[in-house]
Chains A and B, each alone.
Chain A
Amino acid sequence: MKISDLSLVDLKQRLGTSGIYLRTGPFVTRLQSKIPSVVNNFARLYANNSLLENIGFVDFHVSLAAPHGLRRWYRPQVMFHFDDQVPFKPLPYQQAFPMMEWGLNWCISNHAHQYLILHSAVIEKNGFAAILPAPPGSGKSTLCAGLVSRGWRLLSDELGLITLENLDLVPLARPVNLKNQSIDVIKRFAPQAIFSPEFADTNKGTVALMQAPVSSVTRSNEFVKPACIIIPKYTSGAATHLEQESKGNMFMHVADSAFNYSLLGLTGFKTLVKLIDRCDCYTFTYSKLEEAIRTFDELATVNSITC
């Protein structure tokens, strides 16, 4: 059963009481909230996700609620609850939905050390999977959103999960988080996609979320082996340019951007060595999204042939 099979009234009723059990990739989250913007945006952006009837074990018990007391009326706020605990400071009430997204990312990056967790986007086409690690502001999410609206499969725009034994990439297929100028860029580039409203004045500026492609969501139990790692760099006016990166540099870059590389100790090191060994490594400079996607498509074609 999918989220979209529920009527909005039904969804609202469930979210407001016992909660709904949402599957995203390997995780089951129980989500509760009475906040209308959470209900509405959730219905919109997670429409294609599987809904589970209570299956028993839940990975993350999450709820979003307004605090008690004065703050319900005066500059209203929202709090993220993880199993009745409050791991973060409250945010303005209007930011409830992005807070849910960040909170879910936090749940994974803090409690799923059975994976090496990279701060990166992961996408795949014809069995060719690319990891895009990059610091915020490098255009990683923009490129990722562009690619997945042109037939690439979205595994994640933020969290690259890699199994420690087999080096499988584990999909999450959750909405893509777009920031500032990239919101308009992607809206023009993929007008058919489904977006949340824009949330202004967050810690990350203005953000909006884009629904994950249906096919990515339905294939979110299909693991894939990584084939290459590409550091994207958006530079205004720059020519599209794919350049080989040394494995040493890439190792340091990925280690730096991983959430739990040092936590995993020797296991983390060994996993990363294997990952870098098997992947082609590039830096990719771009300014035009269409051209960027053409380069990625060529890369996927070449690699699918050699496979």
Chain B
Amino acid sequence: MRDDCLIVRAFSRPEIVASYNPCDWDVLIRQARRGDILARLYVVLQQCQLLTNVPESAHMHLISAWALAQKHERVLRWEVDRIQHALNETGIPVVLLKGAAYLMQDLPAARGRFYADIDIMVSKESLPVVERALLIHGWMTVKLDAYDQRYYRKWMHEIPPMRHRRRQTVIDVHHRILPETTRAQPDATKLFAASVPVDGNESLRTLAPVDMLLHSATHLFYEGELDHGLRDLLDLHELFVTFGEDENFWTKLQERAQELELTRPLYYAMRYTYGFLKTPIPLSSMRQVEAEGPNWLLRGVMDALYKRALVPSHPSCDVYLTSLARWLLYIRGHYLRMPLYLLIPHLIRKAFVKEKKNK
């Protein structure tokens, strides 16, 4: 899938970069920068001992991105420390999600990753206490109008984002992994129950490996805006590779996906990590998951859409109908999150308010 795209080839078969000419490097670096995966590219090339093949000028951009990634890592570690500090007195355990979880569990998926917001999950009952504790320690709810406030509080799986008034870092506090309005309703209490501590610290936790992978898959394949599509796919790839070393992992993954009603995102995760990145997924697992996949028609459509949208949104990655594909996935992302009777008024309002702001 997308072997025409330099960045996809560089990640699926890194040794191919030895054949890239300076013009290819020019495009590759830009694609990677657009996808926010320039430092990840550096890490992969370093691991495969391919850095000697990189032209000097392109190498500089990789080094620069790597320096930035290290800064991101330091900032995130400090942020996790501050969140722990803020929630310490409450005694409420906090579950780190996504990037923060990969980093704090020292997973290869964290190497050379850039982080934007920090995502955490707490139980729904503890939300008011957590929100108050964060407020006291300097995080303020990002300014939203009454509609957006209500939208978050009533329908979403998270409260409105909070920004630290001095450090300007943003924290997303979740109480479940999908909005209240989706058809699939993975039970958050099950996720909490299976969560694992970070470095033996019972109040700082991450999801268990299978859940971490399922959450990552759910996040990507329920998402409508795929600006970081390839980065998220690379995360999934690394998680499959890391966790897949445990041979029980694949069966557990299968069972858990059924239990949490998340077989469909798992299907997409396997199909597209393998399709794009040649992720080593056991054939038997792939077969089983395929049985849960969509029918041939829908599969064809989804392939056509994701082929176009799971690459960086750089003009050099675009093919025929790329913008249509991105738009359809955007609509799909919303449709999956909300039933139509909520979605249509919401989108109309968003379109209208945007108009007004632009004026």
Do A and B bind? yes
CB distance from B56 to the nearest CB of A (A): 9
B70 touches A265 (CB 8 A): yes
Q: Does A187 contact B (CB under 8 A)?
A: no
A112 touches B64 (CB 8 A): yes
Q: What is the interface of chain A mostly: helix, strand, loop, or mixed?
A: loop
Question: Whole-angstrom distance between the alpha carbons of A15 and B34 in the complex?
Answer: 24
B64 touches A56 (CB 8 A): no
Interface size (B, Cβ < 8 Å)? 24
Within 8 Å by CB of A113, from B30, B34, B63, B315, lies: B63
Question: Whole-angstrom distance between the alpha carbons of A114 and B65 in the complex?
Answer: 9
Interface centre among B26, B29, B68, B314 (most CB of A within 10 A): B26
CB distance from A263 to the nearest CB of B (A): 5
B30 touches A61 (CB 8 A): yes
Q: Does B74 contact A (CB under 8 A)?
A: yes
Residue of B nearest to A59 (CB): B57
CB distance from A71 to the nearest CB of B (A): 12
Chain B residues whose C-beta falls within 8 Å of the C-beta of A1 in the assembled complex = none
CB distance from B125 to the nearest CB of A (A): 39
Question: Whole-angstrom distance between the alpha carbons of A58 and B29 in the complex?
Answer: 10
Q: Does A57 contact B (CB under 8 A)?
A: yes
Interface centre among B23, B58, B60, B70 (most CB of A within 10 A): B60
Chain B residues whose C-beta falls within 8 Å of the C-beta of A260 in the assembled complex = 67
Chain A residues whose C-beta falls within 8 Å of the C-beta of B25 in the assembled complex = 56-57
Q: Does B294 contact A (CB under 8 A)?
A: no
Q: Does B71 contact A (CB under 8 A)?
A: yes
A263 touches B23 (CB 8 A): no
A57 touches B57 (CB 8 A): yes
Question: Whole-angstrom distance between the alpha carbons of A262 and B60 in the complex?
Answer: 19
Name A184-211 residues within 8 Å CB distance of B: none
A114 touches B57 (CB 8 A): no
Q: Does B33 contact A (CB under 8 A)?
A: yes
Chain A residues whose C-beta falls within 8 Å of the C-beta of B71 in the assembled complex = 262-265
Question: Whole-angstrom distance between the alpha carbons of A262 and B33 in the complex?
Answer: 21
Residue of A nearest to B26 (CB): A57
Question: Whole-angstrom distance between the alpha carbons of A83 and B31 in the complex?
Answer: 10
Contact A57 B64, CB 8 Å, known A84-B315, A265-B71, A265-B74? no
Q: Quick one: CB contact mask for B25-53 with A, threshold 8 Å, 1 for yes?
A: 11001100110000000000000000000
Question: Whole-angstrom distance between the alpha carbons of A28 and B65 in the complex?
Answer: 18
CB distance from A58 to the nearest CB of B (A): 5
Chain A residues whose C-beta falls within 8 Å of the C-beta of B64 in the assembled complex = 111-114
CB distance from A247 to the nearest CB of B (A): 25
Question: Whole-angstrom distance between the alpha carbons of A26 and B59 in the complex?
Answer: 13
Chain A residues whose C-beta falls within 8 Å of the C-beta of B63 in the assembled complex = 113-114
Chain B residues whose C-beta falls within 8 Å of the C-beta of A26 in the assembled complex = 60
Name B310-336 residues within 8 Å CB distance of A: 314-315
B21 touches A56 (CB 8 A): yes
Q: Does B339 contact A (CB under 8 A)?
A: no
Q: Quick one: CB contact mask for A114-153 with B, threshold 8 Å, 1 for yes?
A: 1000000000000000000000000000000000000000
Question: Whole-angstrom distance between the alpha carbons of A45 and B54 in the complex?
Answer: 33
Interface residues of A (CB under 8 A from B): 26, 28, 55-59, 61, 83-85, 111-114, 260, 262-265, 267
Pairs across A and B, CB under 8 Å, 12 listed: A56-B23, A57-B22, A57-B23, A57-B57, A58-B26, A111-B61, A112-B60, A113-B63, A113-B65, A113-B68, A260-B67, A265-B71
Taking A83-B314, A264-B71 as given, write out 15 further A-B residue pairs in contact, using a Cβ cutoff of 8 Å, ordered by the A residue number.
Answer: A26-B60, A56-B23, A56-B26, A57-B29, A58-B26, A61-B30, A83-B34, A111-B61, A112-B60, A113-B67, A114-B64, A114-B67, A263-B67, A264-B67, A265-B74
